[in-house]
Copies of this chain bind each other. A is one copy, B any other.
Amino acid sequence: MSQLFVRTLRDDPNDAEVPSHRLLVRAGYIRRAAPGIYTWLPLGLRVYRNVERIVREEMDAMGAQELQFPALLPKEPYEATNRWEEYGDGIFRVKDRKGADYLLGPTHEEMFTLTVKDLYSSYKDLPVWLYQIQTKYRDEARPRAGLMRGREFVMKDSYSFDTTDAGLEASYQAHRAAYIKTFDRLGFDYVIVKATAGAMGGSKSEEFLAKLDVGEDTFVQCTNCDYAANVEAVTVPAPASQPYDDAPAAHAEETPNTPTIDSLVAHLNKAFPREDRAWTAGDTLKNVLVMLKHPDGTREPLAIGLPGDREVDQKRLEGQLEPIEVEPMNEAELKSFPDLVKGYIGPAVLGEQAATGIRFLVDPRVVEGTRWVTGANVDGQHVIDMVAGRDFTPDGTIEAAEVRDGDTCPQCQEGFVSAARGIEMGHIFQLGRKYAEALDLKVLDENGKLVTVTMGSYGIGVSRAVPVIAEGNHDELGLCWPREIAPADVHVVAAGKDAALFEAAEKLSADLAAAGVTVIYDDRAGKISPGVKFKDAELIGVPTIVTVGRGLADGVVEVKDRRTGERQDVAVADAAVRIAEIVRA
C-alpha cells in the first residue's frame, strides 16, 4: 500500500450519481478523464482484467475465435449499410490529414462481414463464430453513472455466420448458453428479456439485464408465466374489435376549460353523467403531437392517439422508431397547423388523408368499434361516442403507451406484468441477412449455388460489468468483490507500530504470494493509524482481510471475511496455508 498507485478518498466525488461510481472513485479504482471517459487506475485495471478474462474464457470455450479490428474505421462500409447516416450525432467522426472520413467504431458488423467475405467462400467454411474484445466509442448525449454509460468503453462483440436459418438459430442458442455461463460467473443478478432490435436491424433478440434500481432500462415479468421483456419490446395484445351497430352517432359537446384529461373527466361526470359507471380517463382518447428528428436532421410531425389514462413512454416510442429521435412539437410548429387546437385536438383533422396531413398512429387498444371521448378541434369542445373505424381511421398502430404494473401479460394473457429496473449487460440478435445483403456476403452452397449468409450479433458490456458488479456487491463501508473479480485475494493489514509486527505481516504476505495467492499488503508506517488502514481495506473490498496486530503476542492473526464480517483467529505458524485454503474454498 505504501507503493501502490492508489489514494482513497473520504468524501464522495461531486459528479457521482450511483453507489458503484462513488465507491470506485473513492477506493481509487477509476478517475474521470472527460465526460463519460475514464482512466483505470491499477486496482481498477486488475478488476477489469478479471472480467475480461472470464468473458474470453467462455467465448473460447464455446468455440468462438478471437480477432481484433481497429477502432478507427473507414466510412465506406458504414455507408454501404446506411449506418454512417443513421448514427447521426451518436458516433465520433474523424477526418484524416487528407480529408478522408473515418469513424470511431461503435460496433463492427460491417468489418466482420467484409472480413468473412474476404476469407471465406463456401458453405463448408460455415458456421464460423468470431469475436473481439475491443474499445468502442459512442458520443452519448447523456453519459452517466461513471462507467455504466460511457463514451469510450469496452465491448465483447461476436458475430455468427451461417447459411441457413436453422444454423443461425443454433449459433444464437450457443451464444445464449455461453452468456448464461459468463454472467453466472461474473456474479450479478440478471434476467433474460425479449428485446427490440433497434438500429441493428434483424428479428429475434434478447437482452441480459442486470437487475439494478439504478439501471436505465425497465423490464416487465409476468406473475403467471415465464414472460420477460424490456418494456420497449412489450407488444400490447389488441383486443377483438367490438360491434358498434347500436352506438349513437358521434356528437360534439361544449366542454369549456377542459384542456387536460383530468379536467375533461371531471366535466364529463358533471355535465354528462352516465348511469352504469362514471367516466374515467380510460374513456378518453388523448392525441399527442411529437416531432420525429431523422438522422439527417429533418423533422416530421407525428400524432399518437392513446387512451387518456396512459402517457407516451418516450423510450418505447423511440425504440420503435430508431434511429429517429423524438422531440416535443414546439409552439411555432403547432401554430403552423391552423387545424390543431391545443387541448382539443381530435382525430378528425389527423391522418395522412385528413386536413393536417399529419401521420396518425394509435395504441393497439384503439381497435375498430371502440368508443372514445376526444377533442373536437374547436376550443372548449369534445366529441362523445367517437367510434374507431366508423368516425375515424388511423394510419396504423404504434407501441408508444407506457406499460404499467398490473397490465395483462401479453404472452399468457392471464397473469399480470410487474416492472423493475435493469441495465443491459448482454444483447443477442438474430440479424439475418441485412448486413450480408448490403455488403454482398455470399458463399457457395452444396449445389454450387451462391447463397447469402445469415448473421447473428452478440455483445457483452465488458467495462460496464465492473460498475454493475460493484453495484450489487457493496455495503455502507465499501466494495465487497466476488472472489473471481477481486483485485487481490487477500488484504493484509499490519496494525500497530511494532517492528516485529511488520516483519510478521511481511513474511505472511511473502508466504501467501509464494503460494500463488495475490496480496495487497498495507505496510504503511508512520502516521497512518490502524483505523485508517481498516477503513481502506473495507473500502477497497478484497474478499479476505487479514490483520496482523495485537493477537500476534498470542501467536495468532485475525482473518475476516469482508462480505459477512465473520472473523476467526488463525495461528501464525500455519496462517499462509490456512488462508490459501480459505481463498481457494
CB contact under 8 A between A45 and B68, given known A97-B141, A104-B94, A141-B97:
yes
Find out whether the CB atom of B72 lies under 8 angstroms from the CB atom of A92: yes
* CB of A139 within 8 Å of the partner chain: yes
* A29-43 contacts to B (CB < 8 Å): 31, 33-34, 37-42
Cα distance, A72 to B140, chains bound together (Å):
14
- What number of A residues sit within 8 Å (CB to CB) of B? 50
Cα distance, A119 to B104, chains bound together (Å):
31
Residues of B within 8 A of A328 (CB): none
CB contact under 8 A between A33 and B135, given known A40-B67, A67-B42:
no
* CB of A378 within 8 Å of the partner chain: no
Taking the full assembly, how many copies of this chain does it contain?
A: 2
Other-chain residue from B66, B70, B89 in contact with A34 (beta carbon distance below 8 A): B70
CB contact under 8 A between A7 and B120, given known A39-B68, A72-B34:
yes
Contact flags A73-116 to B (C-beta < 8 A → 1, else 0) = 11000000000000001001110110000101000000100010
* CB of A363 within 8 Å of the partner chain: no
**Closest CB-CB distance, A337 to chain B, in whole Å?**
30
**Closest CB-CB distance, A408 to chain B, in whole Å?**
40
Find out whether the CB atom of A111 lies under 8 angstroms from the CB atom of B68: no
Residues of B within 8 A of A11 (CB): none
For A48, the closest partner residue in chain B by CB is B68
* CB of A4 within 8 Å of the partner chain: yes
Find out whether the CB atom of A97 lies under 8 angstroms from the CB atom of B65: no
* CB of A444 within 8 Å of the partner chain: no
* CB of A443 within 8 Å of the partner chain: no
* CB of A151 within 8 Å of the partner chain: yes
Find out whether the CB atom of A33 lies under 8 angstroms from the CB atom of B73: yes
Find out whether the CB atom of A70 lies under 8 angstroms from the CB atom of B31: no
* CB of A429 within 8 Å of the partner chain: no
* CB of A331 within 8 Å of the partner chain: no
Contact flags A412-430 to B (C-beta < 8 A → 1, else 0) = 0000000000000000000
Find out whether the CB atom of B7 lies under 8 angstroms from the CB atom of A38: no
Find out whether the CB atom of A73 lies under 8 angstroms from the CB atom of B34: yes
Residues of B within 8 A of A135 (CB): 71, 135
* A48-78 contacts to B (CB < 8 Å): 48, 63, 65-74
What 12 additional pairs, Cβ within 8 angstroms, besides A37-B72, A40-B68, A72-B92?
A3-B63, A5-B128, A7-B120, A31-B118, A33-B69, A34-B70, A39-B70, A40-B67, A45-B66, A71-B135, A89-B97, A96-B139
Task: Give the 8 A-B CB pairs with smallest separation, nearest first.
Answer: A89-B97, A40-B68, A34-B74, A7-B119, A37-B70, A42-B65, A70-B152, A5-B65
Interface residues of A (CB under 8 A from B): 3-7, 28, 31, 33-34, 37-42, 44-45, 48, 63, 65-74, 89, 92-94, 96-97, 102, 104, 111, 115, 118-120, 128, 130, 135, 137, 139, 141, 151-152
5 contacts between A and B (CB under 8 A): A5-B130, A33-B73, A48-B68, A72-B151, A94-B104
